[in-house]
Structure 1
Amino acid sequence: MYYNESIEYKIESIYHTKTKEYFNEVFSSYNNGNFRSAMVMLYSVVVCDLIYKLQELSERYNDSIAVSILAKIREEQKQNPSNSKWESTLITEIKERTNLLETQDALNIDYLRNHRHLSAHPVLDKLDMLVTPNKETVRANITNMLEGILCKSPLLSKKFISTFLEDLVSVKDQLVKDNEFENYLNSKYLSKINKPTEEKLFRDLWKFSFRLDDVQTTENRDVIFRALLVLYNKDKVSFNSIIDSDKNYFSHIKLQNENILNLIVEFMSLFPEVYNLLEESTKLILNNKATHDFDIFTKSIFLSASISNHLEAIKSRMDDTLIPERLSDSGRKLLFKVSQENGVATKFLDFLIYIFSVSQSYDRADLNFHEYISLYGDFFSKEQFIKILEAINENTQIHQRRQAWQDNNILKELINKKFQGEIHLDSYTNVRM
């Protein structure tokens, strides 16, 4: 713990390479007892670091506020090349127009600037024209600047959400795989923002995912939702606390929008604890929609005590209808994902085999084989393949259909891929190939 608090340790976390290089001169002066020089150089390093951060925001993230601040500073320098007033303008602009400086950081810069002026400018009516700060004062200023500014990422602009969303849209068709998408967001953004910015981002992504329905948001809602999942997974405990402390904001969900309804149901099925944090009125509407919409019901895993219980609930509801309901592609994928995450994928696969086994017509058997059997052929165990063969052998609606011969050959290939020679297909006389 002591080492983590040392200046040497903090230096390694300085964000910009050039800043770290300049800072070595500050630290060298401090270690050699040249406290006046250390104070003067420290202020210069901070000013340079702020400019580097604005340049990165401008060049890498196309941040319009950073662009305008840099333009203003360049104009001031051009008008008065020998006047350092632009430094004060820089700090004021950053303080008022970005989130780069928190309140305490701005006060600490003012404190540093006052000590820098005393160290750099002679006072004619004093015996010691140049003030020499003591070691403790210099160390305090160094620590404040390291923690509040030099070690921070520039991604704290008030325009951050706009920059973030624009980038999401630009990469949504390139980063299709979830792990690549997560790595991209963590590397470029999430590992570099502070806690207040992270919390603001979470609230904004929630709003875009579950509330707004303008044309642009609707077109990009899926990738925004993917980003929300990545961010929430980063610190679920903290975000749950935020939701719990502002139930009204997070319960304000546009449930009449079908796309939003499906996404919030998916979110809460992946993270059931969120459902319990919402206002009762919102939970009541969700329950009502699940009662009247089978697809919403299948996806509402949070309504059951466990995924295993939910699979049983779906099975009971399907058995109770004269014409069995079908699982949607999205519903089936969600059930499988949650089953895998909870270590009960076998129960989900058994559930699919059951649906196939009770097919009540040739057409339904055709669909059930394609959606519930062939798509999951790589996941079935030896015992489950035997259950599938038994289901075909016993149910005339399955083995007497025209598609049976072709489907049975697909099944044979799936079995031989994993269990060739271990299952005797000729034991099932109605399984024609």
Structure 2
Amino acid sequence: MDSGFIDLDILLTRIRNAQSKVYFLDAVKAYKAGALRASMTSAWVALVYDLIAKYRELSALGDAAATAFLHSWDNATVAGDIAKLLQLEASILEDATANTQVVNRIARTHLERLREDRHLCAHPAFSAEAELFEPSAELVRLHLVNAVDLVLSREPLQGKAIFDLYDVDVQSSGFPTAYERILDYVEQRYLARVRAQNIRNFGTVLAKSLLKGVPAQWEPLHRKIVPSLVALRERAAQTWPDVSHAIVALIDNLAPEHRPRAIVFLAAFPDFWPLLLEPTRTALQMTVENADPAALADYRILAGVTLPHFRAGLLAVIAALDDEHLAEAITAQPLADLWPRAVASYAASSSFRGSEANFRDLIAPFSGRLSSQQLDQLLDAVIETGQNWDAAETDTLLLGVLRNATAADRPTPEARNRFYQHIRRRHRVGKYEDVLAFLRSDGWALPPPEPEPED
């Protein structure tokens, strides 16, 4: 941008902070009056003031680096420690680049020139020449434009602090758990006010967590980390190509022990599959085909069953799971492809207490996820055996699952009729009174009794 064509009065309107604008107005007035050294000095004062104001905004958002600098600055101000304040002023550009990252490295180069020229203007001792330093009008105007363009007009975008903030936040109870709310939250809190370079780095950190399990404290937070990365893909799309490139490189270079994680990652981000090297794809497919159902270290790998490249192999793994490992897999993630095994195992329960345990371990985790057809299968499984329909807690457990179904996903009238006729014949209508009342709440009516079957 050519500084010679910029109206300085219009430049003033771009300054965010009102007090910074007051200080910068002194620089503009001095420039127009021909007091070029005074203009340069006032521009530096406005710049330092604005950086401090930005630090206060970042500190309020939890930026530890900004808070640490302000602590030193405010303590020196209260104590009247001029030497310390001069030291902090001299180091503020370095701090703003290296620690808070309010200023990027290219901007720092331009602003350091402003600081050097300001010293020549304000301190004759800085000049080796016998005459006072006399900046040209073009040089001063350039510095004024740079000060506004590079700092005074900009929001205080977060830098490295984003990682520390996210680390604490994602482990807290205040971080959302619902998928859509996570997208909105991450966009507003972590993407809207962060430099593009740091957003790219943030995406790489999230991907490393999913692919390599680092940092360790994020391991239980898979269901928060995945939508956080989705938020970056959808709400910071301009940075996604660079993030994607880094992720592909990560997957192509994964150690063998991390390949199951790559399969889990691809289940959430299937668009990466065609971007991988052919040897990588082969290694991942062999990882699935050679998986031992009795020795799975991470049941999340079963999420890859949704991908055609892994489906046959993982369906074979699911079919080979014993009931104990099936329950562990469902606890890890109640995938739709685990439901047929779950409901079949529950239907075959062989004791009252075993039936109740099977319901809790194999059925209850699917609550809120079942379709009308699957709820039909559940009602049929309840009446499959006396160990199920006559177990003491079955009616309560069943009612809990039914209540979590959407109105569109409730059992069909045919399945309800079968269920009612069975418990009527078994004289258990009273036991299932609350279940029947709920099933009738959407207009279904009890069918007329069927004739008793002949012995």
- Taking structure 1 as the reference length, the TM-score comes to 0.65
Whole-Å Cα distance in 2 between the matches of residues 254 and 133 of structure 1?
60
Q: Is the 8 A contact 1:374 1:411 kept in 2?
A: no
Deviations 1:384-409 (A, max 9, x none): 75xx2223546899767888876685
Deviations 1:157-178 (A, max 9, x none): 4454223312333x33564445
What's 2:334 paired with?
Answer: 331
What's 1:339 paired with?
Answer: none
Q: Which amino acid aligns with 2:303?
A: K
Whole-Å Cα distance in 1 between the matches of residues 336 and 7 of structure 2?
50
Q: How much does 1:280 deviate?
A: 4.5
User: Which has the larger Rg?
Assistant: 2
Whole-Å Cα distance in 1 between the matches of residues 52 and 319 of structure 2?
68
Whole-Å Cα distance in 1 between the matches of residues 90 and 165 of structure 2?
27
Q: What's the secondary structure of 2:371's corresponding residue?
A: helix
Q: Is the 8 A contact 1:97 1:158 kept in 2?
A: yes
Q: Is the 8 A contact 2:55 2:67 kept in 1?
A: yes
What's 1:110 paired with?
Answer: 112
Q: Which amino acid aligns with 2:438?
A: E
What's 1:101 paired with?
Answer: 103
Q: Which amino acid aligns with 1:271?
A: F
Match of 2:274 among 273, 276, 280: 276
What's 2:48 paired with?
Answer: 47
Q: What's the secondary structure of 1:239's corresponding residue?
A: helix
Q: Is the 8 A contact 2:263 2:301 kept in 1?
A: no
Whole-Å Cα distance in 1 between the matches of residues 300 and 217 of structure 2?
25
Report which stretch shifted further, 171-180 or 38-47. 171-180
Q: How much does 1:195 deviate?
A: 0.5
Whole-Å Cα distance in 1 between the matches of residues 18 and 70 of structure 2?
22
Deviations 1:181-240 (A, max 9, x none): 544443333211111011111111222333135653435555444533433332356324
Q: How much does 1:71 deviate?
A: 3.1
Q: How many residues were matched structurally? A: 394
What's 2:168 paired with?
Answer: 166
Across the aligned residues of Structure 1 and Structure 2, the Cα RMSD in angstroms comes to 5.4
What's 1:426 paired with?
Answer: 447
Match of 2:89 among 87, 94, 100: 87
Whole-Å Cα distance in 2 between the matches of residues 319 and 164 of structure 1?
35
Match of 2:307 among 281, 297, 303: 303
Q: Which amino acid aligns with 1:111?
A: R
What's 2:371 paired with?
Answer: 349
What's 1:416 paired with?
Answer: 441
What's 2:345 paired with?
Answer: none
Q: Is the 8 A contact 1:156 1:193 kept in 2?
A: yes
Whole-Å Cα distance in 2 between the matches of residues 167 and 13 of structure 1?
33
Whole-Å Cα distance in 1 between the matches of residues 301 and 85 of structure 2?
69
Match of 1:131 among 128, 134, 146: 134
What's 2:353 paired with?
Answer: none
Whole-Å Cα distance in 2 between the matches of residues 9 and 197 of structure 1?
31
Match of 1:146 among 148, 152, 159: 148
Whole-Å Cα distance in 2 between the matches of residues 8 and 333 of structure 1?
64
What's 1:379 paired with?
Answer: 408
Whole-Å Cα distance in 2 between the matches of residues 284 and 227 of structure 1?
29
Distance 1:238 1:404, change over 3 A: farther
Q: Which amino acid aligns with 1:110?
A: E
Whole-Å Cα distance in 1 between the matches of residues 192 and 307 of structure 2?
34
What's 2:414 paired with?
Answer: 390
Whole-Å Cα distance in 1 between the matches of residues 35 and 257 of structure 2?
68
Q: What's the secondary structure of 1:110's corresponding residue?
A: helix
Q: How much does 1:112 deviate?
A: 1.9
Distance 1:125 1:191, change over 3 A: same
Distance 1:322 1:392, change over 3 A: farther
Q: Is the 8 A contact 1:161 1:201 kept in 2?
A: yes
Q: Which amino acid aligns with 2:304?
A: S
Distance 1:82 1:302, change over 3 A: closer
Report which stretch shifted further, 327-336 or 42-51. 327-336
Deviations 1:66-107 (A, max 9, x none): 516863896699665499454323323444445333221111
Q: What's the secondary structure of 2:209's corresponding residue?
A: helix
